[in-house]
Amino acid sequence: MEQANQIQAPQDLDRPIIPNGSHPIETGRYLLATNEIQKLYFKIQQCLNNRFPGAIIYGRPRLGKTRAIKYLTHILPNEFEGLPIYFITCRKYKNPNEAVFFEDLLIDVGHGIPFSGKANVKRQRLLKFLIQEAEVSRQKRIVLFIDDAQRLHEIQYGWLMDINNELDRFGVSLTVFLVGQQELLDQRSVFLELGQAQIIGRFMVQQHKFEGVCNRSDMYECLLGYDEDCEFPANSGFSFTKYYFPDAFVNGFRLANYTDELMEIYTEMRREAGLSSRFEIPMQYLTLAIEYALKKYGVEGEDLSSISKTQWIDAITYSSYIESELYSAI
């Protein structure tokens, strides 16, 4: 661990008083701008600037794809001047139903009347809503992020193409980002074999692989996020690290200082477990380890001034990262 440049005496930091269980570290409701989110942002930005009709965003489970997309749906309209962007959750149905499909879309875009009427009525209601949103925004286009898109059936892609075609008749372009797991690429291969070029051309030409923490830079940026790129409560001046280690923070304690040590610990634990796959830590497991360390060893736990290697091992063990990797290797 790197040492602090300057040591100061503990002092009254006026640590915020908040309701029990309300801190984002307790609720899990937060997102930090990692290297991978930045890469994804640039890819989406490229697609939108070039008005590509669609793209695949894929990766293994637990990488944080869903949370990253939800974060980007909130910041992208700022750059693209109110561009209508919607986050769609793809439900799993054994037998796709057109009425249910458009009902789900109406729910996720926030329409006030999603349930009444037959399939054709719901379809027209959705189209009118999207056209109106495109007109109000003056962007003349709509963006859909469809999460768990590997659940889509071929017939549902046909319904999406119908929406695309209808919007195009009114001068509104549609961009669809399919977000999901590796199966999305397998589906693309099947569509190629079946000669379904229209599906690939509309939704699957562009691809982006979403990854977890793969190297030192990724680890450093993630840890630095807890030290600097977050604040709770708002305008309090307390990052997550400072909130849980207030006195130690004044004396130079930073999670980012543990970057090299954590990389070594993860590498060592993977080697001991016999894991030979490519080094990658899904964000869910890294954040679980960090949250455990903040809560257990910070001021609300053991109130330590530093975190030892043994304690980091305990935190990583608690996250079940190694068990998850072993299961994935089966």
SS (H, E, C) 203-244: HCCEEEECCCECCHHHHHHHHHHHHCCCCCCCCCCCCHHHHH
Starting at the earlier edge strand, list the strands of the sheet with 173-180: 85-89, 141-147, 173-180, 54-58, 206-209
- The residues of the chain that CATH labels 3.40.50.300 are 35-209
Topology (CATH level 3) of domain 35-209: Rossmann fold (3.40.50)
- Chain position carrying tokens 């699957």: 204
Asked if residues 31 and 288 have their Cβ atoms less than 8 Å apart, the reply is no
Adjacent-strand bridge partners of 179:
57, 147
Would you state the pLDDT for residue 3?
A: 44
Asked if residues 85 and 73 have their Cβ atoms less than 8 Å apart, the reply is yes
pLDDT at 298 over 60: yes
3-state secondary structure of 280: coil
Would you state the pLDDT for residue 173?
A: 94
Higher pLDDT, 299 or 13: 299
Asked if residues 204 and 178 have their Cβ atoms less than 8 Å apart, the reply is yes
Reported as a single tens digit per residue, the pLDDT across 205-229 is: 899 999 999 999 999 999 999 999 9
Residue 174: enclosing H or E segment and its boundaries?
strand 173-180
The half-sphere exposure of 157 on its side-chain side, counting CA atoms within 13 A, is 22
| 290: nearest Cα among 198, 195, 223 | 223
Q: What is the mean pLDDT of the chain?
A: 92
Measured between alpha carbons, how far is 151 from 118 in angstroms, rounded to an integer? 23
| 211: nearest Cα among 330, 74, 39, 70 | 39
| 245: nearest Cα among 13, 3, 56 | 13
pLDDT at 323 over 80: yes
pLDDT at 62 over 80: yes
Measured between alpha carbons, how far is 229 from 221 in angstroms, rounded to an integer? 10
Kindly state the average pLDDT of the residues 71-77: 87
Would you state the pLDDT for residue 75?
A: 86
| 271: nearest Cα among 211, 219, 322 | 322
- pTM, entire model: 0.86
Reported as a single tens digit per residue, the pLDDT across 230-253 is: 999 999 999 999 999 999 999 999
Q: Which residues contact 85 (CB under 8 A, 6 or more apart)?
A: 73, 76, 77, 143, 144, 145
Kindly state the average pLDDT of the residues 191-216: 93
Would you state the pLDDT for residue 94?
A: 87
Would you state the pLDDT for residue 73?
A: 87
Would you state the pLDDT for residue 13?
A: 59
Would you state the pLDDT for residue 25?
A: 97
Would you state the pLDDT for residue 159?
A: 96
Kindly state the average pLDDT of the residues 263-291: 96
- Identity of the amino acid at 70: K
Residue 108: enclosing H or E segment and its boundaries?
helix 98-109
